[in-house]
Amino acid sequence: MNADTRYSRPGPGRSVTTRATQASAILAPLDDEPFTEEDRQAVAEADAWLKQNEPIPLENILADFGLTKTDWDTMAKTPLPEENGKGNAL
């Protein structure tokens, strides 16, 4: 079973978005940068923050930038300039 078929249908308790995110992580290039002490500290700080606070929904963060979930989904499907052969042309 490949990632395309494994993540094409959500399993029990899984949303399509969650499954698509997992598939993206599996298909993403390997991050070969070392995990530094600064990285560990940042993760520890984030974990400590989450013990005292509720996670911030993506929709709230997008709204801060005047965007909606639909905008986010559209951007995810839009190739970056270097991927569509247009470079940085506007």
> Closest by alpha carbon to 58, among 11, 21, 4?
21
Work out the number of other CB atoms within 10 angstroms of the CB of residue 6: 13
Q: 35-46 in b/e burial notation, b at 16+ Cβ within 10 A? A: eeeeeeeeeeee
How confident is the model over 19-29, as pLDDT tens digits? Answer: 666 666 677 67
How confident is the model over 31-89, as pLDDT tens digits? Answer: 788 999 999 999 999 999 999 999 999 999 999 999 999 999 998 888 877 766 665 55
- C-beta of residue 58 within 8 angstroms of C-beta of residue 76: no
